[in-house]
Amino acid sequence: MLRSCLSSSPSFFNPVGSILSILQQCTNLSLLKKSHTKIVVLGLHHESVLLTKCAALYFTFNRPDCAGALFDHIENSSSYLWNFMIRGYAVDGQFEKSLGFYKRMMKKGILPDKFAFPFALKSCAGLADLGSGKVVHQQLVCCGCGEDVFVNAGLIDMYAKCGEVGVARKVFDEMSMRDLVPWTSMISGYAHNGCSGEVLEFFELMRGSGLGSNRVSVLSALLACGNLGALRKGEVFHCYVLSTGFVSDVLVATAVMDMYARCGSLPLACKLFEETHGRDVVCWSALIAIYGIHGHGKKAIEVFEQMVKENVRPNHVTFTNVLSACSHSGLLEEGERYFGLMSEGFGIAPKLSNYSCMVDLLGRAGKLAEAEKLIMNMPVKADVSIWGSLLSSCRTHGDLDLAERTADKIFELDPQHAGYHVLLSNVYAAKSRWKDVAKVRKTMEKARAGRIQGFSSIEFKNRIYKFGAEDRSHPASDKIYALLEELSAPMKRLGYVPLTNLVLHDIEDEGKEVALSYHSERLALAFGLINLSHGTAIRITKNLRMCGDRHNAVKIISEIVGRTIIVRDTLRFHHFKDGRCNCRDYW
């Protein structure tokens, strides 16, 4: 085709137009390279319109490297081509290169426009580069693009992803015109910062303004319901998804399934999986994760095997979920086998997330030396989360020497992470090393590492109620505390012994018992017992990991009151019934 087009009569032959027509018909990389070669042979390598089209196609065929090399040979590049390169690298996720092109463009004195700014901001957001984002903000105002809807949506996204959700909201509030794009940016920005309540509030405001919704806003709302453990709100959003037709989107259907699972409704999540058409690797991987966090490791493995039988190829996330499920259920041999299967059976080189799961699996099983050895022999540098998994296992198994070595590694990487300081304090407190506990607290103060305040939440009449430790802010506090006091005697008769070594203060045991009696889980549980009918499961969501004392207490309370109690912490679900937990005290 290329030869026939170029063999036309010279009097009518327009080489630029002919090759441009051929480029528009390129359907694969091979044809594109042949056309590019012909451009060079004909001496048309200075024609920016042809080279711009070539660069665009290289991005289309996933060869940004070729697009970049081509750009460097173009003289007097147009602003359109600069914009295209900034956009192409940003869409491809190569944010540093995209921002680099933007900065080169500015240095050359080529003013960016409303087509460049959204993708420059996207790159700042992807890099969490607030400094560069603020500079781009100043420049877009100077260029007169401060009123453009898409530019402002990019600003909202950038500030939110850089942790400045308040500034993002200010940009949103100052917009004179808003369509679905800035609303969605604000909703996803709240979701990114863990502001689940604001996500749901904003979604309703968006609908009330007469706008519809899109995939991103629906996904954010479903994620927020799951994070809050808001089952009733989640059911409302499920109805909305059904009424608007979003349920035909596999990703949205997967998010609905995940929402129910995060709200503790495992049977319904599994039923929705069976009803989902066109299940892809994301959907299968989500079901594996769901079984894992609910403590059904062997079922998670069965799902993986079924997925492979149905010729759905697993990826890194799939294996992360399988390994995590094995870790939660103590399936050491199975976990080791699937870790080996990644590279040997599927040619997938393990990533940090996969190594982190293996460290956690070995550590939970008490194989701390093997876990440390794996970290030291990894082909990639261990991050804070991997060392944190090992430190958590040191706390579980009381290995003080390894805990101190591990903590040194962690604080080199992130001296301000309060959670790991607290973990080390836990290890010292368990050994009654109160001077070392005090020393860690002083280190935290010097590093300005603020401790995350723990809370537990529970849904009642479509509202979320939060409780902190020894919280008396609820109007029914007197009833809540009275019920906990009433439960104290039967708990002791059934064998409850407070684990006072988990209280990080050198105080008398009586004071420690009082501190343990009114933790957030117990307050939320008492609230549920008072307000929810007897046949209703009590569902509680924690923002921190559940400790051993609270776990023992809730087990015994479930036997006393004859209720099903479901507690979700940051790692998994605990299903309590008749004095037992489905985790079998292994978590």
Residue at 545 is within a domain: yes
Residue at 202 is within a domain: no
Residue at 248 is within a domain: no
Would you call 456 helix, strand, or coil by DSSP?
Answer: strand
Per-residue model confidence (pLDDT) at position 5: 47
Say yes or no: 411 and 525 in one domain. Answer: no
Would you call 455 helix, strand, or coil by DSSP?
Answer: strand
* Inter-residue contact 105 to 116 (CB < 8 Å): yes
Measured CA to CA, the distance from residue 257 to residue 266 in angstroms comes to: 9
Q: From residue 513, how far is each of 45, 360, 437, 488 by CA, in Å?
A: 80, 31, 19, 11
The residue out of 46, 75, 104 marking a domain boundary is 75
Say yes or no: 460 and 576 in one domain. Answer: yes
Per-residue model confidence (pLDDT) at position 502: 53
Say yes or no: 17 and 67 in one domain. Answer: yes
Measured CA to CA, the distance from residue 41 to residue 57 in angstroms comes to: 19
* Element spanning 73, H or E: none
* Inter-residue contact 323 to 335 (CB < 8 Å): yes
The residue out of 451, 475, 495 marking a domain boundary is 451
Radius of gyration, CA atoms only, the chain: 28
User: How does pLDDT run along the chain (587 residues), one tens digit per residue?
Assistant: 444 444 444 444 567 788 888 888 888 888 888 888 888 888 877 777 787 788 888 888 888 888 888 787 777 777 878 888 898 899 889 999 999 999 999 998 888 889 899 999 999 999 999 999 999 999 999 999 999 999 999 999 999 999 999 999 999 999 988 999 999 999 999 999 999 999 999 999 999 998 889 999 999 999 999 999 999 999 999 999 999 999 899 999 999 999 999 999 999 999 999 999 999 999 999 999 999 999 999 999 999 999 999 999 999 999 999 999 999 999 999 999 999 999 999 999 999 999 999 999 999 999 999 999 999 999 989 999 999 999 999 988 989 999 999 999 999 998 878 788 888 888 888 888 888 888 888 887 776 665 678 899 999 998 999 999 888 999 999 999 999 999 999 999 998 887 765 554 444 444 445 555 678 999 999 999 999 998 899 999 999 888 888 899 999 999 999 999 999 998 899 999 999 999 888 77
Structure tokens at 312: 């759905």
Residue at 288 is within a domain: no
* Inter-residue contact 480 to 527 (CB < 8 Å): yes
Per-residue model confidence (pLDDT) at position 26: 85
Would you call 330 helix, strand, or coil by DSSP?
Answer: coil
CA angle 106, 112, 114 (to 5 degrees): 155
Say yes or no: 368 and 424 in one domain. Answer: yes
Domain count, the chain: 3
Residue at 49 is within a domain: yes
Say yes or no: 474 and 401 in one domain. Answer: no
Residue at 129 is within a domain: no
Could you give phi then psi for residue 568, rounded to 5 degrees? Answer: -105, 120
Say yes or no: 461 and 446 in one domain. Answer: no
Give the pairing type, strands 538-542 and 565-568: parallel
Give the pairing type, strands 580-581 and 455-460: unpaired
Residue at 369 is within a domain: yes
Per-residue model confidence (pLDDT) at position 287: 98
Say yes or no: 411 and 467 in one domain. Answer: no
Say yes or no: 25 and 68 in one domain. Answer: yes
In terms of Cβ atoms closer than 10 Å to its own Cβ (0-12, 13-18, 19+), residue 382 is buried
* Element spanning 559, H or E: helix 548-561
Per-residue model confidence (pLDDT) at position 469: 86
* Inter-residue contact 368 to 393 (CB < 8 Å): yes
Per-residue model confidence (pLDDT) at position 113: 87
* Inter-residue contact 357 to 332 (CB < 8 Å): no
* Inter-residue contact 118 to 152 (CB < 8 Å): no
The residue out of 451, 474, 497 marking a domain boundary is 451
Say yes or no: 464 and 392 in one domain. Answer: no
Largest CA distance in the chain: 104
Measured CA to CA, the distance from residue 574 to residue 544 in angstroms comes to: 13
Q: How far apart are the first and last CA of the chain?
A: 65
Indicate the angle between helix axes 352-364 and 316-329, nearest 10 degrees.
10
List of residues 6+ apart from 387 with CB closer than 8 A = 375, 406, 409, 410, 413
- CATH number of the domain residue 389 falls in: 1.25.40.10
Per-residue model confidence (pLDDT) at position 547: 83
Q: How many residues are given for the chain?
A: 587
Measured CA to CA, the distance from residue 147 to residue 152 in angstroms comes to: 7
Domain containing 412 equals 351-451
Residue at 447 is within a domain: yes
* Inter-residue contact 568 to 262 (CB < 8 Å): yes
Per-residue model confidence (pLDDT) at position 154: 96
Measured CA to CA, the distance from residue 233 to residue 226 in angstroms comes to: 9
Say yes or no: 433 and 485 in one domain. Answer: no
In terms of Cβ atoms closer than 10 Å to its own Cβ (0-12, 13-18, 19+), residue 272 is buried
Say yes or no: 395 and 478 in one domain. Answer: no
Say yes or no: 531 and 444 in one domain. Answer: no
Q: What DSSP string runs through 235-260?
A: HHHHHHHHHHTGGGSHHHHHHHHHHH
